[in-house]
Amino acid sequence: MSDMSARSSVLIDSLTLGFSTRETMKHAVLILGAIVVLLPFYVMVSYSLKAPAEIMQQTGGFLGSQEPFRDDFCVKLGNAVEDCMVNPIVYNYTTAFEKAPLVRYLLNGVIVTVSIFLIQVIVALPCAYALAKLKFWGREAVFGLVLFCLLIPVHAIALPLYIMLAKLGLTNSYAALIIPWTISVFGIFLMRQFFMTVPDDLIDAARMDGMSEYSIVWNVMLPTAIPALMAFGIFSVVAHWNDYFWPRIVITGNRDLFTPPLGLREFKGDADGDNFGPMMATACIIVTPLIVAFLLAQRRFIEGITLSGMK
Amino acid sequence: MPGSRAYLWFIGPAIVLMVLILLLPIGIAGALSFTDYSLGNTSANFVGTENYERIFTRTTYEKMFGATFRYVFVVVPLTVLLGLGAALLIHSLTRFGDLYKTIYFLPVMAALIAMAIVWEFAFHPTIGIINATLERGCGTWLEAWDWYAAGCARTFPLWLTDRDYAIWTVAFIGVWQGFGFNMVLYLAGLTSIPRTLYNAAEMDGAQTGWERFRLVTWPMLGPTTVFVVTISFIRSFQVFDTVEAFYPQGGGPSKSVYVMMFAIYEKAIQQNLMGIGAAITVVFLGFVMFLTILQRWLVERRTHYV
Amino acid sequence: MKKLTTAMALALLAGPTLAEDKIVIEFAYPYSHLFDVTYEKILPKFYEAHPNIEVKMRATYESYEDGTNTILRESVAGTLPDVTMQGLNRQAILVEKGIAKSLEPFIAEEADFAKDGYHRAMLDLGTFEGDVHGLPFSISLPVSYYNMETMAKAGYTTENLPTTWEEVIAACVALKEAGVDNPVFWGWNITGNWFLQALMWSQDKPTVMGTDFTLDEPEGLTALNTMHDIFRGCEMQNLEWKAALASFAAGDVGMMFWSTSAVGAVERSMGDFTLVTNEFPGLTDKGPMGLPAGGNSAMLVSTSEDPAELDAAWKWLKFITSGEGAADVARTTGYMPPNQAANEIILADFYAENPTKATAVRQLPLLREWQAYPGDNGLAATQVIYDALEGIVTGEFDDMEELQEELSEEVQDLLPTGS
């Protein structure tokens, strides 16, 4: 924090306006922005606490009345109505965990996102190093290819990819969730930009010491690239943790392979009525690990992008 | 060991995967775009360029290009400017910077499928939080504004289902979701500007904040801006999730939000018309490539980006 | 529950042979939020009757569209389930592509098929190319929903609810005068053509005959004009269905014309008002002459060659569409089973206690097919109709004769040329 305030004082020290007035105005603008940004999150958390009738009619304020309501699912199974009265908060969150086995889905989410990230790094890091630091015939062409691939939208190639995976008999497996993402052109691009800023001397010194190119990548470049990797990691994890489109395409058989966002669909009823309470509870649960991770990583993360030197 | 063949081992896996996972499917799509293949059929007929002709003649596809460009040309400038603005403000703060940073990054992290439902409720024409709030302003000085008075007299807009508003509403959500991403990139760019440059600028007589921004901050952020604009372009051309969440059928009122990615999805996946879906894919790629090359050509004369 | 334990005990007693012979069939259905409870109720009964069959539930489909697309993808991948539940208007595609199997051989083996409550009208909903391919499981019909407190503002009671569209428009005007801003929501957007077919069937006219799109005939113009008059006369807002259901639940909308399947959702989420459902209005005071059935149907898509497995799949198919299995549909959802025996005998008391769900049952004699548009472009044709109807709501199209001409031409263009 201290280095930051030092830097900002450079911007501020000679200002004609009073320090506090200016600072207050900035906060006012930022708070206004924060309100707009947070509005849907406020609604999301609020819905996860309320009863269905309060959600549909948009009544009950933030918390709702918390009066017990009738759980139709329970009644339909033949239980007495008195036994089926539930408290909205308890109902929404327990349903999220029980009806959709959310713990299992979260675990799948972790397995899939972590595997994807590790493989992406193993593939992208050496490639980025070669593109940044090695001179070879066709290097520009390869880099051009990377830039071209950056443009390809996943939705456009979903069906051909599905058919390819199907021919290999890989649908409905972890492999189907991971394989299409093993190559991250964004990762290669980002890491290459980072390696461009690493001084050649460092690599030359390593070569003098007789290190092979292979060990230079993993023993010299990898450690220096940790901050940039963290930046890439957040982007990769956020994208795949929240991905709804692809898992829905490839996971058609076994519910045990669902990733967290697919848990949301358990509560969809389309024109016959969605079950919004548990759905929003699920959404809250899904985003929490990401927020925690971001808070933990954010200092080094921003540092990471900085060093990757988009310059 | 310069001159060794190590690079082959380094770029090899990446190239193989790129070809298999990205280029091969694009190739398949390219081939299918000349056929009438439909999933589940055993064979397909060669139809020549019929699919392409349709794209460029039917009015539906005219709407598709219109919606895509409207979205892109609203979302890209706004996400870039708001990202930059937020980054500048947060960077100059002495306290609470981390808090704002986290808040503004939240939309990037949230699962869009859930947020779309929330927005739908928020934009509900009568009981949604947005119109309900607007209604509270009725009868006050705000009615001096014609638009507001009209809203009070009948109803406030059906943000998501009125063809005059829908695309802008979706674009607003795109901005809401995207500018935090750019803010983080800009914050990183700001952190890397050496302090000495500001001192030097001051010596040269740059007294106001604006002058310092113009002389130091903005030029130093040039490379970041190029990166941010490129990524924003690509991301907003690929907009799909919000459109599918709001308008699972049809692409919005009078097709006003029928963006290209949704068109591909609708044809190839919803309606099983692989041929036409593939043709739109090819056109899409052509467009994005053209724009990217154009943009790089424009900026490369000024910055050493690559 | 006790019965289930007994059955399990029996199964255990019967020894290892049974356990070894256990046949597993795979099954997939849409909308878990709606139907999970139904199958949860049916399964124990099924296991009791067929202890040697195990039904493995696959990931549920998110919607009917998702269901059909998933089956098409799975057919390419060779990972089809044994039994799938498909939207009634999606069956034709699977039959055309040869994925769904004919059920005739199984029906031929059954001794009292008709006595089990399978009647002609029900079987017609799943008959393609002359053979029964699907057994309808849950059926919905368009009905009217009324908020009686709102209706009372314009002097309406359960005695004088509108029975024709003209009366509906008159009611709109009366409600507007009484200060109701949004008197009506008319569910044109249910898959884009269900309500169009409702207006066509109301005049006893199928929307598709062979490969002919019949909108270009006089009945088509009547249908379009009726819609136009409702939207304009009622100044109906173009609401997306989620928003429409929310508006109705909040008491904002007086009359809603929608599928009976949402009764459960509306009852669960509505505010403090009296909900009454009533027959779908008609073009004349005789009421509609027919109405399209919505809902889903069980289809056999197994790729297995094993007669035992196919037989097990058939047993499951039959169990859920007749007797107690079918009755549970009505008990747990807003849908009703098409099965006559289930409706008339098992469920008689149920409907007496749940009048909001009985409306659709009274309309059962009007049951007609929810037609699909033939050929590869069938779904694209649906979309064209959807876009046109939306244009009427938003005011983009005002001249119905012109729209009739354009729309019929464009849709006809997408259908296979009649041979």
* pLDDT tens digits, one per residue of C288-327: 999 999 999 999 999 888 899 999 999 999 999 988 888 8
Cβ–Cβ contact A116 with B under 8 A: no
To the nearest whole Å, the CA of A160 is away from the closest chain B CA by 5
Cα torsion through C134, A263, B119, B266, rounded to 10: -40
pLDDT score of C221:
94
C365 phi/psi in degrees, rounded to 5: -60, -20
Q: What is the mean pLDDT of residues A139-152?
A: 86
Measured between alpha carbons, how far is residue C296 from residues A44, C31, C86 in Å? 32, 11, 5
User: Minimal Cα distance from A294: which residue of B?
Assistant: B102
Q: Find chain C residues with C-beta within 8 A of A275's C-beta.
A: 33
Cβ–Cβ contact C192 with B under 8 A: yes
* pLDDT tens digits, one per residue of C174-206: 999 988 888 999 999 887 789 999 999 999 999
Q: Find chain C residues with C-beta within 8 A of B44's C-beta.
A: none
Q: Which pLDDT band, with edges at 50, 70 and 90, does A7 fall under? A: very low
Asked whether the beta carbons of residue C390 and residue B253 sit closer than 8 angstroms, the reply is: yes
Q: Find chain C residues with C-beta within 8 A of B36's C-beta.
A: 376
pLDDT score of A195:
80
Mutation for B interface: A55, A105, A122, A157, most B CBs within 10 A:
A157
Q: Which of A73, A255, A270 sits opposite C59 (nearest CB)?
A: A255
pLDDT score of B168:
92
Chain A contact residues (CB < 8 Å to C): 52-53, 55-59, 72-73, 76-78, 99, 159, 162-163, 165-167, 169, 171-172, 248-249, 251-255, 258, 262, 265-275
User: Minimal Cα distance from B276: which residue of A?
Assistant: A156
pLDDT score of B79:
94
Q: In this complex, how many residue pairs, one in chain B and one in chain C, have their CB atoms less than 8 Å apart?
A: 94
Among the ranges A232-236, B169-173, C321-325, which has the highest mean pLDDT value? Answer: B169-173
pLDDT score of B301:
64
pLDDT score of C267:
84
pLDDT score of A15:
46
Q: Which run of H or of E encompasses C209?
A: strand C208-209
To the nearest whole Å, the CA of A171 is away from the closest chain C CA by 8
Q: What is the mean pLDDT of residues B147-170?
A: 84
Q: Which pLDDT band, with edges at 50, 70 and 90, does C11 fall under? A: very low
Asked whether the beta carbons of residue A291 and residue B109 sit closer than 8 angstroms, the reply is: yes
DSSP character string of C85-142: EEEGGGHHHHHHTT-SPP-HHHHHH-SSTTTTT--HHHHHTTEETTEE-EEEEEEE-E
Chain B contact residues (CB < 8 Å to C): 36, 38-41, 60, 117, 120-121, 124-127, 155, 158, 160-163, 246-250, 253-255, 266-267, 269-273
Q: What is the mean pLDDT of residues A154-172?
A: 85
pLDDT score of C184:
93
pLDDT score of C164:
93
pLDDT at B194 over 80: no
Asked whether the beta carbons of residue B124 and residue C246 sit closer than 8 angstroms, the reply is: yes
pLDDT at B150 over 60: yes
Asked whether the beta carbons of residue C383 and residue B250 sit closer than 8 angstroms, the reply is: yes
pLDDT score of C197:
94
Mutation for B interface: C76, C80, C238, most B CBs within 10 A:
C238
Asked whether the beta carbons of residue A47 and residue B15 sit closer than 8 angstroms, the reply is: no
Q: Which pLDDT band, with edges at 50, 70 and 90, does B217 fall under? A: confident
pLDDT score of A13:
45
* pLDDT tens digits, one per residue of A79-106: 777 778 888 888 888 888 887 788 888 9
* pLDDT tens digits, one per residue of C82-115: 999 999 988 988 998 889 999 999 999 888 888 8
Q: What is the mean pLDDT of residues B264-277?
A: 86
- Please name the chains neighbouring B, where neighbouring means 3+ C-beta pairs under 8 angstroms: A, C
Among the ranges B147-156, C5-14, C18-27, C164-173, which has the highest mean pLDDT value? Answer: C164-173
DSSP character string of chain B: -TTSSHHHHHHHHHHHHIIIIIIHHHHHHHHHTTB---TT-S---B-TTHHHHHHHHSHHHHHHHHHHHHHHHHHHHHHHHHHHHHHHHHHH-SSSHHHHHHHHHHHHHS-HHHHHHHHHHHT-TTTSHHHHHHHHTTTSGGGGSHHHHHHHHS----TTT-TTTHHHHHHHHHHHHHHHHHHHHHHHHHHTS-HHHHHHHHHTT--SHHHHIIIIIHHHTHHHHHHHHHHHHHHHHT--HHHHHH-TTTSSGGGTT--HHHHHHIIIIIS--HHHHHHHHHHHHHHHHHHHHHHHHHHHTT----
User: Minimal Cα distance from B291: which residue of A?
Assistant: A151
pLDDT at C270 over 90: no
More confident residue, C230 or B150: C230
* pLDDT tens digits, one per residue of A256-308: 888 888 888 778 766 666 788 888 888 888 888 888 888 877 766 656 555 55
Q: Which of B18, B102, B281 sits opposite A294 (nearest CB)?
A: B102
Q: Which of C65, C237, C379 sits opposite B158 (nearest CB)?
A: C237
More confident residue, C134 or B124: C134
pLDDT score of C84:
95
Q: What is the mean pLDDT of chain C?
A: 87
Asked whether the beta carbons of residue C259 and residue A272 sit closer than 8 angstroms, the reply is: yes
Among the ranges A64-68, B3-7, B223-227, C71-75, which has the highest mean pLDDT value? Answer: C71-75
Q: Find chain C residues with C-beta within 8 A of B117's C-beta.
A: 242
Q: Find chain C residues with C-beta within 8 A of B126's C-beta.
A: 181-182, 247, 250, 252
pLDDT at A5 over 70: no
Q: Compute the distance between CA of residue A128 and CA of residue A191 in angstroms, rounded to an integer.
A: 6
C336: three-class secondary structure by DSSP: strand
Asked whether the beta carbons of residue C40 and residue A248 sit closer than 8 angstroms, the reply is: no
B-facing residues of A in 7-66 (CB < 8 A) are: 7-12, 14-15, 23, 26-27, 29-30, 33-34, 36-41, 43-44, 47, 55, 57-58
More confident residue, A155 or C19: A155
Q: Which pLDDT band, with edges at 50, 70 and 90, does C17 fall under? A: very low
pLDDT score of A6:
44
To the nearest whole Å, the CA of A34 is away from the closest chain C CA by 27
Q: What is the mean pLDDT of chain B?
A: 84
Q: Which of B253, B267, B269 sits opposite C394 (nearest CB)?
A: B253
Cβ atoms of residues C138 and C337 within 8 Å: yes
* pLDDT tens digits, one per residue of C341-350: 888 888 888 8
To the nearest whole Å, the CA of B115 is away from the closest chain A CA by 7
User: Minimal Cα distance from C295: which residue of A?
Assistant: A272
pLDDT score of B7:
78
A-facing residues of C in 212-251 (CB < 8 A) are: 241-242, 245-246, 249-251
Q: Compute the distance between CA of residue B273 and CA of residue B267 in angstroms, rounded to an integer.
A: 5
- Please name the chains neighbouring C, where neighbouring means 3+ C-beta pairs under 8 angstroms: A, B
pLDDT at A107 over 50: yes
Q: Find chain B residues with C-beta within 8 A of C237's C-beta.
A: 125, 155, 158, 161
Q: Which of B41, B125, B248 sits opposite C237 (nearest CB)?
A: B125
* pLDDT tens digits, one per residue of B246-258: 888 878 888 889 9
Cβ–Cβ contact C2 with A under 8 A: no
Cβ–Cβ contact A233 with B under 8 A: no
Percentage of residues of chain C with pLDDT beyond 70: 95
Q: Compute the distance between CA of residue A204 and CA of residue A211 in angstroms, rounded to an integer.
A: 10
Q: What is the mean pLDDT of residues B8-29?
A: 89
B-facing residues of A in 63-92 (CB < 8 A) are: none
A-facing residues of C in 73-102 (CB < 8 A) are: 73-74, 76-79, 81
Measured between alpha carbons, how far is residue A76 from residues A244, B185, B186, C274 in Å? 31, 52, 55, 22
Q: Which pLDDT band, with edges at 50, 70 and 90, does A8 fall under? A: very low
pLDDT score of C45:
92
Q: Which of C26, C79, C331 sits opposite A76 (nearest CB)?
A: C331
- Please name the chains neighbouring A, where neighbouring means 3+ C-beta pairs under 8 angstroms: B, C
pLDDT at A16 over 70: no
User: Minimal Cα distance from C268: which residue of A?
Assistant: A53
* pLDDT tens digits, one per residue of B29-57: 899 899 888 877 777 788 888 888 888 87
pLDDT at C362 over 70: yes
Q: Find chain B residues with C-beta within 8 A of A14's C-beta.
A: 202, 207
Q: Please state at what angle helix B50-57 crosses helix B59-92, rounded to 10 degrees.
A: 70
Q: Find chain C residues with C-beta within 8 A of B269's C-beta.
A: 69
pLDDT score of C317:
92
pTM of the predicted structure, to 2 decimals:
0.85
To the nearest whole Å, the CA of C239 is away from the closest chain B CA by 6
A64: three-class secondary structure by DSSP: coil
* pLDDT tens digits, one per residue of B81-111: 999 999 999 888 877 788 888 889 889 888 8
User: Minimal Cα distance from C410: which residue of B?
Assistant: B58
